[in-house]
């Protein structure tokens, strides 16, 4: 298949390179960042000069972009995906998007006879590199089945969740749980340090105890080194994800006591100008409050 990949940053880059390395699909990329494009063309992908050029030549067009507004601009904006895509081609959004935006784009695509899947991913940059990420997909089952050869080329761990938007809902829930675990880790580590414990020993013991979680290893590695840049997963993106989960909870009138506390913690870190740092930089809020 001919695959067009728009947005080859921290996540899109390794996913795209895995398609090139692990399959016979012909891959063309587009990104505003020339270095990101080069990381894919260096190993055999072609580069398109525009979203329009990329879309016209592809069986499947995929996006992995930061914010819902970025996906909207690329999918529905002037000379974007919708303006250039034809029935028979498929559009797949891999970004962590808003369920409402997924449905808005899906409806616009459907009006033109175009099939869309939302297929957000989880597992971080390490999982994206190793081709082990979870891909949670919403949309028509037949469209999903047809897209599997492309999706499986960057991870075997693909799950069809249900109708369009359901992949995104699953992803927002996953990330809310992960960020709450990261906040608990920050709080626990700072309590330990304040009580005079050796942080390395504390990390070692938690890693083998019930306080452990999937986020604890990457979180504690960053925390012990005190290095929060460059980001693997930017705090601004994590804050966006939690905002979207809270928005969904508002729509459904579901309480998210831990989610909203963690969202506020992220906001404090953003106000400390850490939005571009890694999401684990929430630790700096505690360090600052504790004068460390």
Q: What residues are annotated to the active site?
A: 171
Residue 124 makes contact with ligand NAD by CB under 6 A: yes
User: Does residue 260 touch ligand NAD according to CB under 6 A?
Assistant: no
- Between the CA of residue 91 and those of 71, 198, 215, 245, 257, what are the distances in Å? 12, 50, 31, 24, 35
Among 3, 4, 5, 12, binds ligand NAD (CB under 6 A): 12
Least separation, in Å, of the C-beta of 263 and ligand NAD? Answer: 15
Question: Which of 3, 4, 10, 114 contacts ligand NAD by CB under 6 A?
Answer: 10
64 binds ligand NAD (CB under 6 A): yes
Query: Residue 99 interacts with ligand NAD (CB under 6 A)?
Result: no
Per rule CB under 6 A, is residue 95 in the interface with ligand NAD?
yes
Does 70 interact with ligand NAD (rule: CB under 6 A)? yes
| Beta-strand relationship, 60-63 and 90-93 | parallel
C-beta of residue 66 within 8 angstroms of C-beta of residue 237: yes
Binding string, 191-220, against ligand NAD, x = CB under 6 A?
------------------------------
Question: 66, 149, 192, 276: which one contacts ligand NAD (CB under 6 A)?
Answer: 66
- Decide whether 122 or 155 has the Cβ nearer to ligand NAD: 122
Using an 8 Å Cβ cutoff, are 29 and 16 in contact?
yes
Binding mask 22-61 for ligand NAD (x = CB under 6 A): --------xxxx--x-------------------------
Residue given tokens 């913690």 in the structure block: 265
Q: Which residues bind ligand NAD (CB under 6 A)?
A: 6-12, 30-33, 36, 64-66, 70, 73-74, 95-96, 121-122, 124-125, 232-233, 237, 241
């Amino acid at each position: 298949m001919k695959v067009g990949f728009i947005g080859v940053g921290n996540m899109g880059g390794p996913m795209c390179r895995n398609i090139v390395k692990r399959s016979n699909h012909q891959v063309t990329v587009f990104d505003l960042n020339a270095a990101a494009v080069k990381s894919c063309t260096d190993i055999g992908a072609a580069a398109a000069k525009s979203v329009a050029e990329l879309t016209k030549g592809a069986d499947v067009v995929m996006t992995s972009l930061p914010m819902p507004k970025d996906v909207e601009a690329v999918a529905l904006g002037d000379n974007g995906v919708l303006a250039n895509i034809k029935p028979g081609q498929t559009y797949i959004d891999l970004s962590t998007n808003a369920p409402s935006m997924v449905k808005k784009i899906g409806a616009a695509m459907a009006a033109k006879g175009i099939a869309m899947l939302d297929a957000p991913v989880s597992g971080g940059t390490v999982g994206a590199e190793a081709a082990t990420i979870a891909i949670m997909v919403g949309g028509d089952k037949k469209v999903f089945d047809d897209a599997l050869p492309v999706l499986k080329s960057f991870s075997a761990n693909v799950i069809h969740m249900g109708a369009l938007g359901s992949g995104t809902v699953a992803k927002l829930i996953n990330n809310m749980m992960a960020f709450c675990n990261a906040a608990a880790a920050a709080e626990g580590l700072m309590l330990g340090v304040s009580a005079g414990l050796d942080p390395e020993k504390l990390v070692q013991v938690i890693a083998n105890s019930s306080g452990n979680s999937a986020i604890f290893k990457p979180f504690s590695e960053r925390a012990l080194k005190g290095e929060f840049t460059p980001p693997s997963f930017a705090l601004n993106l994590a804050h966006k994800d939690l905002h979207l989960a809270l928005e969904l909870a508002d729509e459904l009138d579901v309480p998210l006591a831990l989610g909203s506390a963690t969202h506020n913690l992220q906001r404090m870190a953003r106000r400390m100008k850490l939005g571009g740092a890694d999401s684990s930089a929430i630790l700096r809020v505690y360090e600052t409050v504790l004068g460390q």
